[in-house]
Amino acid sequence: MAWIEVRGEDEATGRLARIYEQLRRSAGEVANVLAVQSLRPRVLEAHLDLYRTLMFAESDLSRRQREMVAVVVSATNGCHY
């Protein structure tokens, strides 16, 4: 298993602390798949912007269809996210 250095919520400052607080308010936690990007807060913000665009922006796919695609891709990849 790979080891990735992560800044925890208790170590976060500045931009990362603000991102973590936003995630905690909206999702109740900071998921590991996001925390692994903690050394590069700008990359984490870009990831979150892409996710929000893919899942919530106007689309020919419904939100339900987008979630179904995400579940199938995760299952195919053996990923619980």
Instruction: State yes or no: pLDDT of 1 exceeds 60.
Output: no
Quick: pLDDT tens for 20-78.
999 999 999 999 989 999 999 999 999 999 999 999 999 999 999 999 999 999 999 99
- Collapsing DSSP to helix, strand or coil, 57 comes out as coil
User: Is residue 25 situated within a structural domain?
Assistant: yes
User: Is residue 9 situated within a structural domain?
Assistant: no
User: Is residue 6 situated within a structural domain?
Assistant: no
Can you give the pLDDT at residue 11?
95
Can you give the pLDDT at residue 2?
61
Domain count, the chain: 1
Quick: pLDDT tens for 5-14.
999 999 999 9
Can you give the pLDDT at residue 66?
97
User: Is residue 3 situated within a structural domain?
Assistant: no
Q: Name the DSSP letter for residue 37.
A: T
**Any alpha helices (H) in the chain, and if so which ranges?**
14-27, 32-35, 41-56, 63-76
